[in-house]
Amino acid sequence: MVWSDYLKATAPAAQQRDIAQAAGVDQATVSRWQRSGVPPRPENVAAFARAYRRPVLEAFVAAGFLSNDEAKERPRGRPRLDLIEDAELLAELGRRLGARPAAAAAPDAAAQSPLGLAARTAEPLIGAADLPHEP
């Protein structure tokens, strides 16, 4: 599919000015997209896709930036965890463990659990100094 065909399929009833406003470009730019079939800059392709709630990868394929096979590839490396926000990391951990979000947990949930109760009522640990000495 060429870019101009993708435009028609994605926004069939939209006027040039509506497409331009939604994608944040000039109306003349949209006219050029429709007439020439020349793909726009990648940031404009992404803006158009987002404006019409379409996957950006789909639009990149239509614009000729990627092939269908390239769009289906998955990253092979491990994500850099230091680049992920703490809240996002905690939410993912909670999802994987099947836990409730931290905000929804009871403030004293550990104290209410059987283990928390046992920890509060148990005898203090005996240290090495408390062991009997052999004669």
* Amino acid in the structure at residue 42: P
pLDDT at 58: 92
- Kindly state the average pLDDT of the residues 71-85: 79
Start-to-end Cα distance in the chain: 91
Architecture of the domain delimited by 3-72: Orthogonal Bundle (1.10)
Rounded CA-CA distance 105/115 in Å is 16
DSSP string, 18-75: HHHHHHTS-HHHHHHHHHH-----HHHHHHHHHHTT--HHHHHHHTTSS-HHHHH---
Q: Is 40 helix (H, G, I), strand (E, B) or coil?
A: coil
Q: What are phi and psi of 106, to 5 degrees?
A: -65, 145
Does residue 21 have a pLDDT over 90?
yes
pLDDT at 92: 86
Q: What is the pLDDT of residues 85-106, one digit of tens each?
A: 888 888 888 888 987 655 555 4
Does residue 32 have a pLDDT over 70?
yes
Does residue 43 have a pLDDT over 80?
yes
Rounded CA-CA distance 52/49 in Å is 5
Rounded CA-CA distance 71/57 in Å is 6
Of 75 and 127, more confident: 75
Does residue 73 have a pLDDT over 60?
yes
pLDDT at 42: 93
Of 14 and 99, more confident: 14
pLDDT at 83: 80
In the block, which residue shows the tokens 């404006």?
51
- Kindly state the average pLDDT of the residues 23-34: 91
